[in-house]
Structure 1
Amino acid sequence: MSPANATATKAGGGGSGDEYEVGKTYEVKLTTGIEFKGIVLAYDSDPHVVIFREGAIPGKCKSMMTTRTVNASFISKANLIGKCKDPLDWKKKKCFVDLSGLLEKEAIAIRRIESIGVGVTAEAQKIFDALSKTLHVKWENKDMVIMEDVRICSPYHSDSVTGGTRAANDRIKKVLNNVREKLQLSSDT
């Protein structure tokens, strides 16, 4: 990250030639339509990223601080609304980071990423999503692994279920057939 007195030239839709300077407060609009107010905490020129303390008003601090890391090329508009002397002076403002909240958000994001099959059909993803509502299921390459030992391989029909005990295997086959029926997918061939 750049030192505290560094600046960052606007990229993408910014266009007015202004600079993002640590300590300045901006009203920001992203190309995705998201809008927020924040103080610039840091800028990194290599990936062209700006870190904002969100919702901040110069000279004031809430009991919790939210940070937002933004690729500067996605900023379509940034209006300067103020400047504070030291945005990182946490001792006087008694700000803190909710580490447990950050860890929880990270765990949710990881679960979401892991629930997306890579190189699988839309039908396979629908089946996975339906099964994951009631069963512990994960992707292992293009196979669905349920309860760590039952595997469903492409084309994701009941005859593609392998592994596990006979009872577990039969139960997964029954659940899979019910899911395929609810999703109105073609029956086993």
Structure 2
Amino acid sequence: MEPEGAGPVVASEWVVGCEVALQTTLGEDLEGQVFAYDKNTNCCILLQPGSTPFHNHLRILKANYIKTVVTAKRANQQPDLHLPVVDMQRCRDREERALQAALQEAAKIGVGVTKEAQTLFNALSKTMPTRWNNTTIVVLDEVSISEPYRLENCTTKHPEDKSTLQRVRKVLEAERKRLGHD
């Protein structure tokens, strides 16, 4: 293939800074700038624009999976090979937030409960804070719903507060009807 304004681009040289459009053996069309090429692993790294001006994606491709190079244009100027400074505290904070979010999502999955129980839990958790206490569903830290998760299995910490209990029972009843129970 003849890139614009230069000699052929040989797969083994993958000139850093070269703008390429290529197709993978999986039929995917990709465009980007060659960020790096590693002979030892036979991998090409493409720099692709992200969704915002200062965010880019690095795509690592095994050269064996590149079917064809559709176009290739050598860079007019020397590419900027400097990597940006990484804010390690920002990375740690982001990792911590992701870990907390994953733990919260994992806590929503009941252990040793039926599919029906999980469905009821999911429905209740859409409108009210809900958590598992072993196999018991706890809603608003006030109402407990034990197996087999029927209206009569709803109990409250504060019997004088009937409004919270009624609200939970109403949502539970609607969901059980939707599931075809009761």
- TM-score of the aligned structures, taking structure 1 as reference length: 0.49
Deviations 1:91-136 (A, max 9, x none): x741224343222211220111000000000000000011111010
Deviations 1:57-111 (A, max 9, x none): 7xxxxx8899xxxxxxxxxxx9599xxxxxxxxxx74122434322221122011
Deviations 1:124-163 (A, max 9, x none): 0000011111010000000000111210000000000001
Relative distance call for 1:65 and 1:144 in structure 2 (3 A) is farther
Output the CA distance in 2 between the equivalents of 1:56 and 1:101.
25
Relative distance call for 1:79 and 1:178 in structure 2 (3 A) is same
Match of 2:102 in 1: 109
Match of 2:5 in 1: none
Is 1:168 aligned with 2:164? Answer: yes
**156-165 vs 93-102, which moves further:** 93-102
Larger Rg: 2
**137-146 vs 158-167, which moves further:** 158-167
Match of 1:124 in 2: 117
Match of 2:72 in 1: none
Give the gaps of 5 or more residues in structure 1.
Answer: 1-54, 58-62, 67-77, 82-91
Number of aligned residue pairs: 111
**DSSP 3-state at the match of 1:133:** helix
Relative distance call for 1:56 and 1:139 in structure 2 (3 A) is farther
Give the gaps of 5 or more residues in structure 2.
Answer: 1-43, 47-53, 65-82
Match of 1:96 in 2: 87
Is 1:179 aligned with 2:172? Answer: no
Relative distance call for 1:171 and 1:93 in structure 2 (3 A) is closer
Identity of aligned residues (%): 28
Output the CA distance in 1 between the equivalents of 2:116 and 2:146.
13
Relative distance call for 1:65 and 1:94 in structure 2 (3 A) is farther
Relative distance call for 1:133 and 1:94 in structure 2 (3 A) is same
Relative distance call for 1:93 and 1:102 in structure 2 (3 A) is same
